[in-house]
Structure 1
């Protein structure tokens, strides 16, 4: 199958729309003069790079099929609720389906050339992964977390039953009930807690240090499993905590992260190689 024709090296409406959305989440016509200048500079730079990439010897070995472009058009179209919306939006932005296909063909070919340039890189080995894991040990440490439930009674002097003294009396009574029967905590949370977590029996889930208000955080990380806290106060009001489980911190085993490390090394090598190739290409006379 023959390769689709590339667009001329004229200002690209497609790239202008693409970068206006990426940078400012706006249509080009809504940009300020300063924003439009920034977008135009990026588009001009990208067009210049594309021109050099597509004129390179490596580009002569790359072919973009109609099926690949069809997939690109389908991906763009999937962002719209109907095909009519898609066509109307293209028209509003000064594009037709034909010009969109041309622009996508150009984008896809540039990406394909860059992939081809880095295709000869050596494979990432098990040793590479293990060395990365050892050299970046701090990245693979998990902090201690504690699964906690809480009951909240808010303080609001303008609301009957929630002034400070009434709120304190209510939370004290709830705590007394929970102290007698710890299994009542979830039920008491459901009945009395003024936090959305009441519907889950007060469950906040596993939390690391520093996620809760300081008074709550300090208490939680001194508690034993199953222990009930004293009544604690935060800017939200009065709380009772119960520690359900302690998840110790530690190092994540290599087996659990080796695929992620492999992908990161591979991606970094590919990006560095492509940047070096582009730099050399752009400095050629």
Structure 2
């Protein structure tokens, strides 16, 4: 029973970000069905030959409990949540241990598929080369003067005057941008000379994005207004859209393909295992 209760808690949080007691009737029915399925899978997996000899790393359960505790403001809230779900620390520990063992068995089964080698990864790369397009990126710095009517220095009229004075100074001496950012910008990036970094389209406020991607490398913008205040931008460099080379993606691609193969093989094994034991098929 503790496994069912634990999986109800896990499913309620995962599906609806609620404790089981806060669920609507329809939500509760779905959570109970998912929990029953998890419980069935747990029993089948841990009874399989592949589960023999599987052990958890030292401290794995304690780490999992600590992560759950960390979601609550204090120990009292954690304890109340467990009680509301029909669990205590002992039953939670037991349920977590079994849950983690299921994951460990699935990892063991998946590992039997082996790693994807360089040849397989390279074939995948050239067959799907369009997936490896890197969008245009621009290295940008900015100076921000916020608008806040509660503060005299940040009232709209004053803020506008301040940023335009900075803009005037920079038009005369553009090399002073980083110095002016450190002195006047109200963004944390001021500490690094206003550096926002390499930005693809769609990352900044729309008003800033539209201006930045019309600028030339080294160009200083006019004053740009966003919902938080007034900005000056400097486009330091332009990295054009390009296709990443195989060498750039090889390591991460091999890892990704290996993980995908492992998951597929583990799901295939679980499907067959459930067919043999109950005639049911896992579809996801």
**How does the TM-score come out when normalised to structure 1?**
0.75
Instruction: Give the 3 Å change call, closer, same or farther, for CA 186–76 of structure 1 in structure 2.
Output: same
The C-alpha deviation readout for 1:151-181, integer Å capped at 9, x for no partner, is 3445678976767766555444322211221
Structure-2 separation of matches of 1:40 and 1:85 = 27
Contact 1:21 1:27 in 2 (8 A): yes
What is the aligned residue count?
A: 271
> Which deviates more from structure 2 when the two are superposed, residues 242-251 or residues 260-269?
242-251
- The match for 1:31 is 23
- The match for 2:282 is none
Instruction: Give the 3 Å change call, closer, same or farther, for CA 169–12 of structure 1 in structure 2.
Output: closer
SS at match of 1:78: helix
The counterpart of 2:194, out of the listed 178, 186, 202, is 202
The CA deviation at 1:217 is 3.0
- The match for 1:255 is 247
Contact 1:178 1:184 in 2 (8 A): yes
Contact 1:62 1:109 in 2 (8 A): no
Instruction: Give the 3 Å change call, closer, same or farther, for CA 274–153 of structure 1 in structure 2.
Output: closer
Structure-2 separation of matches of 1:194 and 1:230 = 18
SS at match of 1:38: helix
The counterpart of 1:63, out of the listed 50, 53, 58, is 53
Contact 2:2 2:87 in 1 (8 A): no
Q: Which runs of 5+ in 2 are unaligned?
A: 280-284
Instruction: Give the 3 Å change call, closer, same or farther, for CA 163–129 of structure 1 in structure 2.
Output: same
- The match for 1:78 is 66
Report the aligned-residue RMSD. 3.6
TM alignment of 1:87-126, pairs within 5 A: 88=79, 92=83, 93-95=85-87, 99-126=91-118
Q: Does 1:278 align with 2:270?
A: yes
The C-alpha deviation readout for 1:70-111, integer Å capped at 9, x for no partner, is 633322343347xx9499569735445654454344334433
> Which deviates more from structure 2 when the two are superposed, residues 237-246 or residues 39-48?
237-246
The CA deviation at 1:145 is 1.7
- The match for 2:130 is 138
Structure-1 separation of matches of 2:163 and 2:172 = 14
> Which deviates more from structure 2 when the two are superposed, residues 133-142 or residues 212-221?
212-221
The CA deviation at 1:133 is 1.7
TM alignment of 1:141-220, pairs within 5 A: 141-153=133-145, 168-220=160-212
Structure-1 separation of matches of 2:75 and 2:212 = 53
Contact 1:16 1:40 in 2 (8 A): yes
Instruction: Give the 3 Å change call, closer, same or farther, for CA 183–271 of structure 1 in structure 2.
Output: same
SS at match of 1:12: helix
Instruction: Give the 3 Å change call, closer, same or farther, for CA 179–271 of structure 1 in structure 2.
Output: same
The CA deviation at 1:122 is 4.5
SS at match of 2:59: helix
Q: Which runs of 5+ in 1 are unaligned?
A: 1-8
The CA deviation at 1:208 is 1.6
- The match for 1:5 is none
Higher-Rg structure is: 1
